[in-house]
Structure formats: structure tokens, C-alpha cells
Amino acid sequence: MSVAAAPAVAAPGVERLDGLDVLRGLTVAGMLVVNTPGTWEHAYPQLLHAEWNGWTYTDTIFPFFLFIVGVSMEISFTRRTEKGATRADLLRHTAARGAAIFGIGLALNALSFVLFHKEHLRIPGVLQRIGVCFLAAGLIRLLLGRRGVLPAAVTLLLLYWGLMKFVPVPGYGTGRLDVEGNLAAYVDRLVLGAHTWKAGWDPEGPLSTLPAIATTLFGSMAGALLSARMDLRRKIKVLLAAGAAGAAIGALWGTVFPINKNLWTSSYAVFMSGLAAIALAVCLWIVDERGGKAWAAPFRWLGRNALAIFTLSLLAVLMLLWIKVAGPDGKAWSLYATIYRTVFAHTADPRLGSLLFALAFLAVFVAIAGWMNRRRIFLKL
């Protein structure tokens, strides 16, 4: 990880788009809020994942982030190429960055395993999937070129759909999409054994990473559009049209292959990529086209140090849960629970208190991101 004294200056032909930073920051902010309720027993439905099929606001966050990873990857490739980087240089950078992101995620899982004396170390995770998707999408883009990105994404989505629908699962049969009987869960058990998030399956498992790579590739296509030499307003219109088409296709596909975040179904990948493209177009229009940057400053701070803020927030949660203090009942409470129960758990609606805790947690990291921005500290891999 390196510390840059200032954000990278765009190469000729690739303007810096604050709207992209803002969308990344909004996504990180959403991630912090949904990951840190005061208590999981009391949370608004939209701040929880859909139990299985369907989607909530929370289910938009991870695919939005992967889409943005693809956008940023393509813009980075363009800038580096214009500065003289070769394809071999880009391949080395992609492999190193993907491995580093995966390693950070695994290290955080290992820390949790040690601190809380868990029986099994979880191998997959959010950062691990980001690392794998960045690596795979980067290799596809660099080896096949821009023209190969869409065919590769479509192939991955159709392959995953075919595997999930037509490959029989021992003991369950063919085409099952329930929690235990689906092929992705079977592969989780076969490859990961007990090293999963829940017994018998993991939402970031190996097979369901295939359509997640496609999500990243769709972001790469959006990045190619933003790197093109054309008027920003035209780019926004194309993004809106493509996003609307993607959302419609995903919703239609969802009637036969349900939208499901845990399985990262092909319909989910297409639908969420469409919504992400629309969100990016809206941010670009408000922030870059219309000049509405003042209100967006906190999200721009978060967006420019997204990986650092997300990693630090996970470390903070682990420490808050690990540190124990004596509660009023004489029992040991985690510092996390102590802060929530002492300060936030007195609202008439417990869901509001739980949300206020999450917003306070977010405010701390907005302040950290703002301090890093003022100091011109930008942590990059």
C-alpha cells in the first residue's frame, strides 16, 4: 500500500470525474451504515438483506461497489497506457493489487478468528471477492481487449445460469435454488468445507463469483465510455439508456431466474449493474455537469479513500466487539454494545436508535476521511 501526496491527475483525454468519487463514497457510506446497526435485532427492513429472493437497498451496495471497481479499473488502464505503461505492466499491477485486496480481507477474517476463538476460519469475504473480481475482470479486459468484455460478461452470466439450472446436485436433484439444494452451496461445501460464513454455504463462495465478475466487467464497459473523447452530457445519456436497459433485462430474467444476492444470480448481476449505471449517470449529472459539489464533499472524501476507510471500519468494529467492559448488570458487555445501550437505545422506536448508532459510526469515519483529504493522504494499493 502506498501513500500518495495528492490524487492522481487525469491523463490527457481522461477528465477527473468527481461524480464517480461521490458514488463510490455514497456506496461506502451505505456499506458502513448497514454493517453497523446498534443491534441486529432492531433494523429497518431496507437496511437488511432480503432473506432470500428479492432485494432491498442493502442488496444494492456490494454490486454497486463491484461495478465502480470495474469503472475505476478501466479508467486507470487508460491513464496508465497514455503514460506509457505496457500490457505486461498492467497485468503485473492487476495481479499484485488483486492479491493484496484478497490478502487484506483474509487477514481481517484471521484476526476475527483469533480474537473471538472461532472454530473455523472463514476464507471468503467481501474484500476477497473484490480482489478476485478485480483480478479476473482485469485479466479478461487486458487479454481480450475492450471488444471482448461484453461477450465475456454474457458468457459468464449464461454459464452460471446453465450450471445452476441444469447441473444436478447430489442428494437434491437439478435446478434447486433454495438455501441447501443449489449448486453454488454444493460447490461451497466441496471446495471450502467448514470455512464458510454459514454452515454449508457462503454468499461470497467460488461459483457465485462468476456472475460477480460479470458485474465488474459491466463497470469496465462504463469506464470505457467515460474514457472516450465525447461530451459529458452525451456520456450521461448513454449511461442512463444502458442502465435502464440493463435493469429491465435483469428484472425480466428475474421472472425465471430469481434476483438473489446470496446466489448472485445472473438476473441480479444484470439488474444491479443497470441500477449502478443509472446512479453513476445521476451523480455525474448533479456533480460534474451541474456543478453541485459542495453537498457532496463528505462522500468525495470517502470515495477517494474507499479501501482504507472500509478496512479501518472493519478493524474498528472488531475492536469494539472484542473490548469488554462491565455492564450495569455486572456482566461483561462489548464496548460496541455498551455505547449503543448507553447512548442510543432509549428511543421510542428501537430501530431509530439502532440507525442513529450506525450514523454516528459513519460520522466518525467521514471525519477521518475529511482529515485525510485535508492532509492530502490517499492510500492506494
Share above pLDDT 70 across residues of the chain, in percent, rounded to a whole number: 96
Integer angstrom CA distances of residue 55 from 45, 100, 252: 10, 31, 15
Overall residue count recorded for the chain in this entry:
381
Structural domain spans, the chain: 1-16+39-48+294-381, 51-291
pLDDT of residue 14: 57
Grid look-up 475505476 returns: 72
Asked if 33 contacts 362 with a C-beta cutoff of 8 angstroms, the reply is: yes
Tell me the C-alpha distance between 12 and 50, whole Å.
44
Q: Helices (H), strands (E): how many in the chain?
A: 13, 4
pLDDT in tens, 222-258: 999 999 988 999 999 999 999 999 999 999 999 999 9
Strand-pair category, 332-334 with 324-326: antiparallel
What is the distance between the alpha carbons of residues 2 and 379, in angstroms, rounded to a whole number? 6
Distance CA 348, CA 352 (A): 8
Helix, strand, coil percentages for the chain (3-state, nearest 5): 65, 5, 30
Distance (Å, rounded) from C-alpha 245 to C-alpha 261?
20
pLDDT in tens, 197-226: 999 999 999 999 999 999 999 999 999 999
Q: What is the pTM of this model?
A: 0.93
Q: Confirm if 32 and 365 have CB atoms less than 8 A apart.
A: yes
What pLDDT, on a 0 to 100 scale, did the predictor assign at position 10? 42
Of the listed ranges 67-81, 274-288, 326-340, 359-373, the least confidently predicted one is 326-340
Task: Tell me the three state secondary structure of residue 39.
Answer: coil
Residue 7: is its pLDDT beyond 60? no
pLDDT band, residue 15 (cuts 50/70/90): low
| The residue type at 275 | L
pLDDT of residue 181: 94
Alpha helices in 170-305 (DSSP H): 183-192, 209-227, 232-253, 266-283, 297-304
Are 265 and 211 within 8 A, CB to CB? yes
The pLDDT-based confidence of 330 (bands split at 50, 70, 90) is: confident
214/157 Cα distance (integer angstroms): 7
